[in-house]
Structure 1
Amino acid sequence: MSEILWRPGAEQVAATNLNAFRLWLQAARGITLADFPALWRWSVDDIPAFWTALWDFAGIVGERGGVALDNPTAMPGARFFPDSRLCYAENVLRHGGDRPAIVFRGEDGRRVAWSRDDLRAQAAGFAAGLRALGLGVGDRVAAYLPDIPEAIAAMLGTNAAGGTWSSCSPDFGPAGVLDRFGQIAPTVLVAADGYRYGGRTFRNAARIREVMAGLPTVKRLVIVPVLGDAEALAIPGAVTWESFRVPGAALEFTRLPFSHPLYILYSSGTTGKPKCIVHGAGGVLLKHACEHLLHTDLKPDDRLFYFTTLGWMMWNWQVSGLMAGATLLLFDGNPFHPSPASLFDIAEAEGMTIFGTSAKYIDAIAKAGLKPRETHDLSALRTMLSTGSPLAPESFDYVYRDVKSDIGLYSISGGTDIVGCFALGNPMGPVRRGELSTRALGCAVEVFDDGGRPVRGRKGELVCLRPFPSMPVMFWNDPDGARYRAAYFERFPGVWHHGDWCELIEHEDGTVGMVITGRSDAVLNPGGVRIGTAEIYRQVETLPEIQEALVIGQDWDNDVRVVLFVRMRDGLTLDDALRARIRQTIRENASPRHVPAKIIQVADIPRTRSGKITELAVRDVVHGRPVKNLEALANPEALELFRDIPELRT
């Protein structure tokens, strides 16, 4: 049984949105649910009733229609609220006034604050500029931007005008941008003239020229002057952000069907061109309302931060926090510049209440020896969220020991495929060491064995048995839906297969936690036993000499052997004594089957632009196979460190 590290007090539980929803169900619907486990069970047993109730509780603006779920047993094929009409931006921008909507902080110390009225005016002006250009319903607007306020205004303006938004961060090279935007034929490109990272300035004019040359459908290039670089404005067709916007324009919203495309997001693209995943406005709105209001307990006084870029779905997730009336805290740059404590400096200065980041960041600040509870006033901070990879038990220990002891720490997990999460926090329940607190409300998440049978207390494939609103509407350029079905429904017909290798853990209080041990396509299989890579990382990264690690299965002697690559702390070298200690740690805390056959030091580890290590790409290099899309990687040059390694020939 996992150790309980923190539990909310009775007054905290009573004040949660979750408890308010439970009481509202009893008063407004006559549904009595004693506790969270009962609420979760009802939410998946009566899916139409749950999502209808959430629509009303959250105050979704729009015409709901009389049907909550059409074709309810079809996956794919089920349709939520098929008669409804709504606008995502109308819901997100429903709060006006002079309270702050967005506070931006750059790594250089620059601070920009927009009130709710400021954001509404900026979005209205951008929407009017699109309409003046003749943008029609469903036309695409692509963004090549850092995490700045203008990005949010442009996205909301695009949706208000009926358009569809797609984005990537400005550190993508032109080939990576064109691999994405080249598939969707955008009408407008919004780009920053550059960005700052790690104390350096990066000018993007040359990249933008190359991107524009590959996007013949673009009618207008809108330049956001982050650096004030005149070269970007010299590109043919370029106009400034201010000249494109129509000042004083009225804020008009185009209401469209529930499944009208709001976003086009992209898979990581490490095994070929990225898949273009289309998400509907209603599905995003409802799923995020559930995650923000109920699982994150987001309230109007909150100041919500997520360390992200426009190339990661957590940017889209954070924006929806505006619907609850919260203030969004944005940051662009290197979180370790000018010091490893930079994000905590912002947390203190801005009264951050919810701090969202990645598991890798938490591990990195732990290894850097940060103890923010001793150096910063974090009295406002009540929640930390972690995603991107499983949060190790030792990282839970670190947060409660060195960041803050009285805090809800929630490891959450989902992905671009659902623009949300399958596992989230439970503000009414305890935080258990090494566990994701609960399955998402309204998502019938289970774990299957290889034969498609539900299992408890042992590892298997994460699946969802019933429809949920934020399933993709479609893949772009997939007219018969074949690629969509192959991605999620071929492994277990009629069941969503997510691709995570995990375990559900039942507790005496009726709650069910989850432990994720890696992507199932990266699971190791030595001697026919399936091992999640996170089980090895969890042990290796407890050793102070090791900065980070990557593990793969190498085909060897008609079997698979485990190969571990480690990046050492600066100035340290891997030796036989440390190899022995690594093996002993893994053997004692995992199992003998987890022990790597080879342990090899490397200078760097390749990762995607959203910060995830790329086990599959390394596995391909080790086996002499081509990596199909290097542009998906933030540091593709690191792959060469894994090519033709002598130790892997014996």
Structure 2
Amino acid sequence: MNQPLWTPSLERVAATRLDAFRHFVNQRHGLHLADYPALHAWSVTQRAAFWQAIVAFFEIRFAAPAQHVLDEGPAMPSAHWFPGASLNFAEHLLRRRDDHPALVAIGEDGSREQLSYAQLASHVAGLQTSLRAAGIGVGDRVAAFMPNTWQTVVGMLAASSLGATWSSCSPEFGTQGVIDRFGQIEPKLLIAAAGYRYAGKNLDLTGKLNEILERLPSLQQLVVVPYANAQAKAADLQTRARVALWQDFYQPGGEPGFTPVPFDQPLYILYSSGTTGVPKCIVHGVGGTLLQHVKELGLHTDLNPDDCLFYYTTCGWMMWNWQVSGLALGATLVLYDGSPFHPGPERLIDLIDAEAISIFGTSAKYLAALEKAGAKPGSSHHLERLKTILSTGSPLSHESFEYVYREIKAELCLSSISGGTDIVSCFALGNPVLPVWRGELQCKGLGMDVQVWNEAGRPVIGEKGELVCTRHFPSMPVGFWNDADGSKFHAAYFQTFPGVWAHGDYAEETVHGGLVIHGRSDAVLNPGGVRIGTAEIYRQVEKVEEVLESIAIGQDWDDDVRVVLFVRLREGVALSDELQARIRQVIRANTTPRHVPAKIIAVADIPRTISGKIVELAVRNVVHGKPVKNTDALANPEALELYRDLAQLQR
């Protein structure tokens, strides 16, 4: 009989904010919701009452009250949440004002800077004054080309305190990748680092920055953060905009003010990966982002004011925006900038002990790499306060689930979470009151009517299909930038099933009420007309000791599709016939004969996005001789050349 890997104790369940919220709802509405499934069912059938309960439970402050909770049209995406309400995002993230640590910024070189909540508010107040003097107001775009450090958070809070719209890219983006993003939204002010560190190297950004500035004619003010380039001077930058160094642009001090804006006022502009063309600019509203984030962090992650939250992310990934909202719960955030493997594979694990991290967020790739490196953090580290590990970016394999409980810590909630940039949040995520099952995301998010549909548009359980959300939710994007009639937005999410959000994930709902993600729908393999999720293959290949990572595509062949598997092997290992046979045997024994690759090819590198996701579509295009439209969206675009015109694929 399959058993859960972890089950929370009754004492732990009773101490969670999620259980407190269930009692709150029962008392407020005269209900008797006995458990999470009952609470979730109520949250999707009574969405207005649910989201109003979130507002009350987390004491969300509206400067002007809403006329009511929801105006809903006949079909998605037609809806308007909390019409008439106004609020300010930064105000909710700066409610705590004491000496408790708010931000701990750690560099790869070991540098450490800490800001208390009182100091954070002081910095935001000072920067706000200077932003206002620079002409920044409601609706203006403030962009950041920055590493994950405290100045970036201060910049976002100061901008949003004025009702401006924030958008950020990380320094490892290529020049064209930054221009493709910021060029579309025409920022009035840019905050940019003059240098950054990665894998033991100091990288000067002056040249790249000058190329970007040349293509941003809308820019009126540039604020340069020296960061890893202490010698940076304003005179080094070539732009028609005013230029100031961060330390000269403002002085901390005073109390920040907060400009109320409508519930749907654009707060963030995030970007699609851009691997199939110019990135889509996804606009997220103030109110929807705030409500969704306090729900996910406060209830699903059980983040409390005495917790320390860490997520390994860059400012170009939505997990940065998500983590920063932890300030709304009064927690301490640990920001790390640099390689997760420098100088060794346990660099981030060291942080757990050094900073008393209680909630540790990372990627499935990182956990798999830790296991491949032979790391046993439970034996080498204390991990005393660690209560939750979050994983996202790609599906977490069964083996990684088992590795965490075997080699990291037995008593913790391992939450694989999934959603995306598209909703700046999650559809399925963790739950501190539910068991953890191998390979499963614990639950659907509260208020999210998530289902898996077959090709006929019918919900299925225990079968693979499309992940959909059948009812509107507050963190649905306001729309896409420069998409006046909404046609691009509609085509992206509502074309597959009219009036229903189709997320593009190939998924399966389990009997436990959890979800398994089998890969992206557009990367699904189709040999002999049978749909196969790439994650099903990766999970098996990861068991082979000699393989570090892999990528699978479907190659058009003989009026059908054949599965091609590319593998990156450990140093010194060759792809022998014996190793190929073993890889095929592991796949066949644990899946079906259709999953077995027709070709296995060794490669030196696997292309991935800046946020670490492997790009099956780009590899498939290269193999078929098609162009890859936007290689600047990739962290290692040169890797694509390893897949071009391969003799092994011509026969």
TM-score strictly above 0.5: yes
Q: Distance in 2 between matches of 1:132 and 1:247?
A: 15
- Kindly state the Cα deviation for residue 72 of structure 1 after the two structures are TM-superposed: 5.1
Q: Select which of 373, 389, 396 maps to 2:378.
A: 373
Q: Is the 8 A contact 2:448 2:469 kept in 1?
A: yes
**Displacement of 1:89:** 0.3
SS across alignment from 2:428: strand
Partner of 1:494: 499
Change (3 A) 1:9 1:78: same
Aligned ranges 1:282-361 → 2 under 5 Å: 282-361=287-366
Q: Which aligned runs of 4 or more in structure 1 are off by greater than 4 angstroms?
A: none
Letter in 2 for 1:355: F
Q: Bigger shift: 436-445 or 233-242?
A: 233-242
Q: Provide the C-alpha distance between the structure 2 equivalents of 1:149 and 1:308, rounded to a whole number of angstroms.
A: 14
Count of equivalent residues: 646
The residue matched to 1:384 in structure 2 has which SS? strand
- Deviation by residue 1:505-543 (Cα, 9 ceiling, x = unmatched): 123xxxx01100000000000000000000000000111
Match of 2:417 in 1: 412
Residue 645 (structure 1) aligns with? 646
Work out the CA distance in 2 between the residues paired with 1:124 and 1:32: 45
Partner Cα separation in structure 1 for residue 125 and residue 531 of structure 2: 53
How far the C-alpha of 1:249 sits from its partner, in A, is 4.0
The residue aligned with 1:157 is 158
Aligned to 1:590: 591
Paired residue type of 1:8: P
Partner residue, 2:42? 42
1:94 aligns with 2:85: no
The 3 A distance-change label for structure 1 pair 593 and 135 is same
Paired residues for 1:148-547 under 5 Å: 148-234=149-235, 235-236=237-238, 237-507=242-512, 512-547=513-548
Q: 2: distance between equivalents of 1:28 and 1:456?
A: 33
State the match for 1:110 in structure 2: 111
Between the aligned partners of 1:64 and 1:48, the Cα distance in structure 2 is 15
Preserved contact between residue 121 and residue 255 of structure 2 (Cα < 8 Å) = no
Aligned counterparts of 2:233 and 2:54: Cα–Cα separation in 1:
45
| Equivalent in the alignment of 1:60 | 60
Q: Comparing 127-136 with 65-74, which one deviates more in the overlay?
A: 65-74
Change (3 A) 1:558 1:188: same
Q: Which moved more, 1:129-138 or 1:474-483?
A: 129-138
Paired with 2:535 and 2:476, the residues of 1 have a C-alpha distance of: 26
CA distance in 2, matches of 1:602, 1:2: 37
**Deviates most, 29-38 or 389-398:** 29-38
Bigger shift: residues 93-102 or 22-31 = 22-31
Question: Which residue pairs with 2:72 in the alignment?
Answer: 71
- 2:292–2:475 Cα contact (<8 Å) kept: yes
Tell me if the contact between 1:205 and 1:232 (Cα under 8 Å) persists in the aligned partners: no
Amino acid at match of 2:295: C
How far off its partner does 1:28 sit? Answer: 2.5
Structure 1 contact 221–238 (Cα < 8 Å) conserved:
yes
* Distance in 2 between residues matched to 1:500 and 1:27, nearest whole Å: 37
Alpha-carbon distance in 1 for matches of 2:428, 2:26: 25
Cα distance in 2 for residues equivalent to 1:527 and 1:89: 53
Hey, what does 2:130 align to over in structure 1?
A: 129
Question: Alignment partner of 2:451: what SS?
Answer: strand
Q: Secondary structure at the match of 1:90?
A: helix
Counterpart secondary structure, 1:317:
helix
Cα distance in structure 2, aligned partners of 1:168 and 1:64? 34
Equivalent residue number for residue 580 of structure 1:
581
Q: Which residue pairs with 1:561 in the alignment?
A: 562
Moved more, 79-88 or 492-501: 79-88
1:105-124: per-residue Cα shift (whole Å, max 9, x none)?
11111010000011111111
Q: By how many angstroms is 1:247 displaced?
A: 3.8
Query: What is the identity, as a one-letter code, of the residue corresponding to 1:10?
Result: L
1:134-159: CA deviation from partner (whole Å, max 9, x where unpaired)? 11210000100000000000001000
1:553-584, Cα deviation, whole Å (9 max, x unpaired): 00000000000000001111111101101111
Gaps of 5+ in 2: none
Q: Deviations over 1:30-72 (max 9, x none)?
A: 2221100000000001111100101100111224413101125
Cα distance per residue 1:175-199 (max 9 Å; x no partner) = 1100000000000010011100111
Offset of residue 246 of structure 1: 4.5
- State whether residues 124 and 252 of structure 2, in contact with CA within 8 Å, keep that contact through their aligned partners in structure 1: no
Task: Report Cα offsets for 1:265-320 as digits up to 9, x if no partner.
Answer: 00000000000000001010000011011100110000000000001000000000
The one-letter amino acid of 1:280's match is G
**Alpha carbons 2:308, 2:331 under 8 Å: kept:** yes
1:29 CA drift (Å): 2.7
Deviations 1:420-465 (CA, angstroms, capped at 9, x unpaired):
0001111111000110000111000001111111111100000000
Query: d(CA) in 2 for partners of 1:230 and 1:583?
Result: 55
Q: Secondary structure at the match of 1:143?
A: strand
Aligned mates of 2:229, 2:529 — CA distance in 1:
58
Residue 31 of structure 2 corresponds to which residue in structure 1?
Answer: 31
The amino acid of 1:106's aligned partner reads: G
Distance 2:46 2:192 in 1: 44
Q: Secondary structure at the match of 2:130?
A: helix
- 1:518 is paired with a residue whose SS is strand
Q: 1:624 aligned to 2:625?
A: yes
The 2-side partners of 1:131 and 1:30 are apart by: 48
How far apart in 2 are the matches of 1:452 and 1:26? 34
Secondary structure (helix, strand or coil) at the match of 1:6 reads: coil
**1:7 maps to which residue?**
7
Question: Contact 2:204–2:229 at 8 Å: present in 1 too?
Answer: no
Q: Percent identical across equivalent pairs?
A: 59
Match of 2:16 in 1: 16
2-structure distance, mates of 1:75, 1:202: 46
Match of 1:305, SS? strand
Q: Whole-Å Cα distance in 2 between the matches of residues 570 and 499 of structure 1?
A: 35
Q: What is the DSSP-based 3-state SS (H/G/I as helix, E as strand, rest coil) of the residue aligned with 1:506?
A: coil
SS of the residue 2:396 aligns to: coil
RMSD in angstroms over aligned alpha carbons?
Answer: 1.0
Contact residue 226 and residue 232 of structure 2 kept, 8 A: no
Alpha-carbon distance in structure 2 between the residues aligned to 1:217 and 1:641: 39
**How far, CA to CA, are the matches of 1:476 and 1:304 in structure 2?**
32
Q: Quick one: distance in 2 between partners of 1:31 and 1:417?
A: 34
Other-structure match for 2:609:
608
Tell me how far apart the structure 2 counterparts of residues 400 and 361 of structure 1 sit (CA, whole Å).
Answer: 15
Other structure's SS at 2:463 match: coil
Structure 2 SS opposite 1:5: coil
Q: What is the TM-score when the length of structure 2 is the normalising length?
A: 0.98
